[in-house]
């Protein structure tokens, strides 16, 4: 019987990591079969989509409420597939609100669970540690401080390194990208990174567009809005004549070519750090989600870049601090000061070194998956 594995991811970064892990496992087990909740990268890697990942792309304690019926239908569909197909093991990637409900179901079916990308229980919702401890055979951590935290709590955790440290590479040089997209050589380039989910983009775009207008009132600059492949900005989201050029599916190239990035707090800030581009980070959720969630957060910074550095090296404009005026002001500080950009690049280089590892994180993850399978 060929090896059968359930694989599930709920957002773009998880889709990337899970797809890479599937490819690594397939090199070791060419006849292996994969199915689950899959995005475009996982489907391209040969994962049969019982559930399409796009149906889970919602952020926020309150924002998710209206989507619960649909998400629950997808959840039940995946549970039924697991019960019917009885995989040898399951790989759940990030998206803890979904996957920490799925893990106990799989445990009751006798399906061992490997969890890739640890939930940020060290920052908030610490109760998730108990779910991990009871239901996960191996937790694969991608940030260096996580393994010690989870092991101290009795969770079988291992630090594999950050997958992006070996993945993030531009395919075009800085000048090639600028020529391709008609960026004048005498203008600094600012890349806008509003997020990968429709809700994030809808919340962030108005303030980003407002910031662009304020920056252009002070100095000449070019602006590129980078979106994932297949992501379309809805009509009317960008004001006519904003001067913002939308570039789809070239995010790493756009970041590498930019002088400054305006980056939504999340995975893209890690990508930006690895590419060494100075940045301003931001994020906003609904006011209800903010007031419900803020008291639960126990970390000094919101940006993973600052958390890894252990100090504030990039500005964080969160919730009410995210305004067009603040975004523009922080961006102009970097645009107007080559010395400030250089200092930040040096600090980002330190973050990149901390996220690197001597071994390939994906191959290390594949080793752990094989270890769990052999112990079954």
Packing angle of the helix pair 338-355, 267-275 (nearest 10 deg):
110
| Whether residue 185 sits in one domain with residue 113 | no
Question: Is 169 contained in some domain?
Answer: no
Question: Is 166 contained in some domain?
Answer: no
C-alpha to C-alpha distance for 206 and 323, rounded to whole angstroms: 9
The domain in which residue 30 lies consists of 4-161+358-375
| Whether residue 239 sits in one domain with residue 335 | yes
| Whether residue 247 sits in one domain with residue 138 | no
| Whether residue 195 sits in one domain with residue 295 | yes
| Whether residue 247 sits in one domain with residue 191 | yes
| Whether residue 363 sits in one domain with residue 340 | no
Closest CA to 197 of 156, 243, 163, 233: 233
C-alpha to C-alpha distance for 201 and 226, rounded to whole angstroms: 11
CATH of the domain at 18: 3.40.50.2000
C-alpha to C-alpha distance for 23 and 294, rounded to whole angstroms: 38
C-alpha to C-alpha distance for 317 and 76, rounded to whole angstroms: 38
Strands in 260-264's sheet, in edge-to-edge order, are 244-248, 222-227, 189-193, 260-264, 279-283, 316-318
Count CA atoms within 13 Å of residue 218 on its CB side: 14
| Whether residue 217 sits in one domain with residue 85 | no
| Whether residue 135 sits in one domain with residue 39 | yes
Which DSSP state fits 155?
-
Residues 6+ apart with CB under 8 A from 25: 5, 32, 34, 366, 369
Q: How many domains does the chain have?
A: 2
Which DSSP state fits 171?
S
Residues 6+ apart with CB under 8 A from 232: 248
- How do the pLDDT tens digits run along the chain, 376 residues long? 789 999 999 888 899 999 999 999 999 999 999 999 999 999 999 999 999 887 765 444 444 555 677 788 889 999 999 999 999 999 999 989 899 999 999 999 999 999 999 998 877 678 899 999 999 999 999 998 899 999 999 999 999 999 999 999 999 999 999 999 999 999 999 999 998 878 888 899 999 999 999 999 999 999 999 998 878 787 777 877 788 999 999 999 999 999 999 999 989 999 999 999 999 999 998 776 666 666 666 777 889 999 999 999 999 999 999 999 999 999 999 999 999 999 999 999 999 999 988 899 999 999 999 999 988 7
Mapped onto helix, strand or coil, the DSSP state of residue 218 is helix
| Whether residue 124 sits in one domain with residue 260 | no
Question: Is 168 contained in some domain?
Answer: no
pTM of the model: 0.85
């Amino acid at each position: 019987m060929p090896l059968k594995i359930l694989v599930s991811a709920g957002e773009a970064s998880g889709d990337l990591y899970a797809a890479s892990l599937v490819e690594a496992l397939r090199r070791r087990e060419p006849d292996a079969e994969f199915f689950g909740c899959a995005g475009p990268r996982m489907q391209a890697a040969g994962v049969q989509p019982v559930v399409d990942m796009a149906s889970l792309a919602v952020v926020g304690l309150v924002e998710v409420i209206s989507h619960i019926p649909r998400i629950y239908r997808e959840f039940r569909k995946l549970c039924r597939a697991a019960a019917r197909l009885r995989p040898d093991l399951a790989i759940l990637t990030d998206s803890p609100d979904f996957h920490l409900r799925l893990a106990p179901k799989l445990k009751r079916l006798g399906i061992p669970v490997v969890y890739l990308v640890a939930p940020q229980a060290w920052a908030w919702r610490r109760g998730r540690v108990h779910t991990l401890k009871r239901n996960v055979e191996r937790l694969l951590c991608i940030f260096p401080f996580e393994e010690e935290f989870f092991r101290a709590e009795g969770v079988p955790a291992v630090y594999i390194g950050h997958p992006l440290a070996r993945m993030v590479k531009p395919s075009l040089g800085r000048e090639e990208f600028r020529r391709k997209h008609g960026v004048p050589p005498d203008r600094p380039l600012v890349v806008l990174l509003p997020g990968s989910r429709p809700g994030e983009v809808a919340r962030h775009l108005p303030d980003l567009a407002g910031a662009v207008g304020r920056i252009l009132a002070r100095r000449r600059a070019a602006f590129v809005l980078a979106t994932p492949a297949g992501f379309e900005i809805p009509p009317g989201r960008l004001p006519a004549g904003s001067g913002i050029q939308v570039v789809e599916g070239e995010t790493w190239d756009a970041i590498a070519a930019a002088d400054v990035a305006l980056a939504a707090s999340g995975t893209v800030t890690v990508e930006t750090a690895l590419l060494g581009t100075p940045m301003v980070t931001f994020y906003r959720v609904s006011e209800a989600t903010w007031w419900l969630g803020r008291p639960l957060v126990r970390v000094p910074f919101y940006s993973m870049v600052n958390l890894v550095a252990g100090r504030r090296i990039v500005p964080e404009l969160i919730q009410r601090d995210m305004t067009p005026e603040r975004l523009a002001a922080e961006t102009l500080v970097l645009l107007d000061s080559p010395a400030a950009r250089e200092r930040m690049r040096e600090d980002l280089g330190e973050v990149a070194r901390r996220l690197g590892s001597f071994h390939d994180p994906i191959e290390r993850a594949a080793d752990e998956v094989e270890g769990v399978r052999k112990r079954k």
